[in-house]
Structure 1
Amino acid sequence: MDPAMSFAEIFTVVVPVFLVIAVGYGTGRRALFDAGGAQALRELTMQLALPAALLLSIWQTPRRVLVEQLPLVGLLAFGLLGVYAVLLGVLRLAGRRPLRRAALFALACVQPQYAFMGTSILGGLFGTAQAAVPIAVAGILVNVVLDPVVLILLGMPEHPASRTAATAAAATSAVRRPALVTVGGGAPGESVEAAAPVAAGDASPEHRPSVLRTVGHALREPFCWGPVLGLILSVGGVGVPKVAGTSLTLLAGAASAAALLYVGVSVSRIGRPKLTPAVWAIALTSVVVLPLLVYGAGLAMASAADAAQAALIVAFPVSPVPLMFAARHGSKADVRTIGSAVVLSLLLSFVTLPLLIELIG
């Protein structure tokens, strides 16, 4: 990132991203995209365009540059996995939250929309090739490690008292499920509308998520294996054939627009946020506390450039992936809280992202 970039120039990178999201929001409100249309946008981005962009960018990156990214890997692991573990412990022990609610709220605090919004904003700041590495690293950490761990926690039985309360709540209330699919990672691309509610303690052994099965599913997603293939080809010294490079470039060109439209359509289906203290806590942790924490750790343990990239990766709004998990494993209150945090964090990020970019400039 150019250290001499002015605040006005930062806005020229950030504002167009939010304008395209607003267009997606408008089309969603006008019902030009139904749940099937939103799913199609998600699949175009996560199954085709974004994997092509990451594969090509990493493939074209020299081997020595990839080796220099190891501190960045450590910072992202700290921000996504380490902070999640701390928040889970605080919510579970100090906050005395049930395991499922603690797992969902902690995930909402640390899992950002790095994939969809990151390609546009980080590409504008650092260049497409340099932005591809942190996005790919975050994708592997989230989809192969973080989300599978959360699914395992959500499948664990609750304390009998919590189980009774959750079962009663599930029996007396119908959960309104927004038509959403995952944003920011390659987790199972099912609609939240299609997810059947699972009462706490009802996860039978055959329905509890398997670690190997969940990780295996993530590794089969192009968003995961595409960057890994690019890494293998780069380290192996295999050059990019002209035909392959041109084809991947054409396919990657659809990534930014489709991704941002999808974010807007998805948010339009959540509805008006309810601004409770929990919603504010999740949103502010996601777009303010976490990026500043990662940036400070990066300055202490790595270079300023690595600290800036890692901080921006985790500074994006809350991903709807926790909302999808809440619709399947949580309560009506969990769905409402996390859905509201998704909307609020997106609105806050219009201000926090430019300010963070200016701070770390």
Structure 2
Amino acid sequence: MSIGSIFLTLIPIFFTIILGYLGGYFKVFNADASKGLNTLVTKFALPAHLFIGITTTKKQTLIDQWSFFLTMTICIIGFYIILLIIARTIFKYDLTSASMFSLNSTQPAFAFMGISVLGSLFGAQEVAIPIAITGIVVNALLDPLATIVGTIGSKEKSDEKSNTLGIILHGLSEPLACIPLLAVVVTLLGFQAPDILKTTLDQIGSVTSGVALFAVGVTVGIRKINLRGVAIGISLLKVVVVPLFMVLVAHLVGLNHADTVKAILLVAFPGSAVAAMISTRFDSLSTETASSFVLSTVLSLISLPIYISILM
């Protein structure tokens, strides 16, 4: 796929971000309004979207694609944990900041780009299951884990005497943590969301992508783009280091070549607007993560064609 083709895929993403940026830059949206958009996404729209996305995935999909699921889990969750430890022990970040740094360095924008980019390479039907599995790993495991760790960090800073179990339970009570986990459990038990439930929750869940991108633009417009230090580090980890880590994991698991290519490209996509949104939710590295989302998207115009030319 040429740089031009990838750029065409990214035009809707950039357009929505730019609209949000202009809204923030010209003070149409202030910090309170930005937090309101964040609350809409993280507490209402995104949980509804995730529940339907997971519960419309067949139980047998997870069973038949266990090696791909294992590969994505080891790479995504493993890389998050590795970075979390490094951020805490070497860079001395507090727990919430370490979690947000690790989340944004790991989570790919697979939902925005997967069908467009991978579909043009393999066919939309061929990549539907890998994208769905990646969604389960990210939405049901990574985001809840990062949310719980971020909540623990926030509680530790505000109340050092808080009970650890209570903090974890509080983190699990966050819609972004408990709803995807519940969806995985009921799916494994054989539940499939009926059409009426899907239609109902889609009324709010369908706004997730657009509002999340718009809100990231608002955040950048209010706080200005930060193209130094942390933002650059997150961007390079996302588009360079994570794909290389996936090469190692896929080799160790023994994934076949076609699935290896899909796995590498899925994690090579730029950072996620949802991950940046979660950082804003915790008011931790929000400027840096929003900036890294924009920067990693620009860098992917260079990195993705290189990966595709090497792998295909």
**What range describes the TM-score normalised by the shorter chain of this pair?**
0.7 to 0.9
Q: Aligned ranges for residues 186-225 of structure 1 at < 5 Å?
A: 205-206=160-161, 210-225=163-178
State which of 34, 41, 46 in structure 2 corresponds to 1:38. Answer: 34
**Is contact 1:24-1:265 (8 Å) kept?**
yes
The alpha-carbon distance between structure 1 residues 38 and 63, as it changes in their structure 2 partners (threshold 3 A), is same
Cα deviation, residue 104, structure 1: 3.8
Letter in 1 for 2:10: V
Residue among 282, 286, 298 paired with 1:350 = 298
Residue matched to 2:142: 142
Q: Give the distance between the partners of 1:111 and 1:282, measured in 2 at CA.
A: 7
Structure 1 residue aligned with 2:237: 285
CA contact (8 A) 1:46 1:223 kept: yes
AA at the equivalent of 1:108:
F
- Indicate the residue corresponding to 1:17 in structure 2: 13
Deviations 1:274-306 (A, max 9, x none): 524x55333311332123322442254234436
Partner of 2:60: 64
Q: Which residue of the partner structure matches residue 271 of structure 2?
A: 317
Q: Hey, what's the Cα distance between the residues in 1 that align with 2:181 and 2:86?
A: 34
Please give the per-residue CA displacement for 1:203-260, whole angstroms capped at 9, x wherever unaligned: 7632x5x443333233323333333443344334445433223223333322221121
Greater Cα shift, 15-24 or 217-226: 217-226
| C-alpha distance after superposition, 1:155-182 (max 9, x if no partner) | 88xxxxxxxxxxxxxxxxxxxxxxxxxx
Is the Cα contact below 8 Å between 1:294 and 1:310 reproduced in 2? Answer: yes
**Structure 2 residue identity aligned to 1:121:** M
Secondary structure of 2:202 counterpart:
helix
Task: Map 1:113-124; keep pairs closer than 5 Å.
Answer: 114=107, 117-124=109-116
Where 2:223 maps in the other structure, the secondary structure is: coil
Q: What amino acid does structure 2 have at the position aligned with 1:58?
A: I
Tell me if structure 2 keeps the 8 A contact 1:41–1:258: yes
Alpha-carbon offset, residue 29 of structure 1 = 1.0
Counterpart in 2 of 1:250? Answer: 203
Q: Is the 8 A contact 1:52 1:249 kept in 2?
A: yes
Distance 1:38-1:271 versus aligned 2 partners, 3 A rule:
same
Aligned residues: 296
For 1:269, the equivalent position in structure 2 comes to 222
Output one character per residue of 1:78-134: Cα deviation in whole Å (capped at 9) or x when no partner. Answer: 3344334444555677x5x43x3698457514535848x543223545669643442
Aligned to 2:104: 111
Distance 1:324 1:26, change over 3 A: same
For 2:172 and 2:11, locate their aligned partners in 1 and report how far apart those are by CA, in whole Å.
34
The alignment status of 1:29 with 2:25, answered yes or no, reads: yes
CA deviation after TM superposition for structure 1 residue 151, in Å: 5.9
Task: Summarize deviations over 1:49-77 as a string: whole Å, max 9, x none.
Answer: 33233222322222211223444443344
Name the SS of the counterpart of 2:29 in structure 1.
coil
Which amino acid letter does the alignment assign opposite residue 240 of structure 2?
Answer: V
Q: Write the distance in 1 (CA, Å) between the matches of 2:155 and 2:182.
A: 32
Given the superposition, is the C-alpha separation of residues 256 and 306 from structure 1 closer, same or farther in structure 2, using an over 3 Å criterion?
farther
Unaligned runs of 5+ in 1: 157-197, 328-334
Report the secondary structure of 1:269's partner residue. Answer: helix
Offset at residue 346 of structure 1 (A)? 2.0
Provide the C-alpha distance between the structure 2 equivalents of 1:306 and 1:51, rounded to a whole number of angstroms. 29
Q: What is the alpha-carbon distance in structure 1 between the residues aligned to residue 164 and residue 260 of structure 2? A: 31
The one-letter amino acid paired with 1:281 is G
Take 2:305 and 2:47, find their aligned partners in 1: how far apart are those partners? 26
CA distance in 2, matches of 1:149, 1:282: 19
The one-letter code of the counterpart of 2:246 is: V
The structure that has the greater radius of gyration is: 1
State the partner residue of 2:287. 339
| RMSD of Structure 2 on Structure 1 (CA) | 3.8
Q: 1:51 aligns with which of 47, 51, 65?
A: 47
What is the identity percentage for the equivalent residue pairs of Structure 1 and Structure 2? 23
Residues 227-242 of structure 1 correspond to what in structure 2 (within 5 A)?
Answer: 227-242=180-195
Identify the residue that residue 298 of structure 1 maps to in structure 2: 250
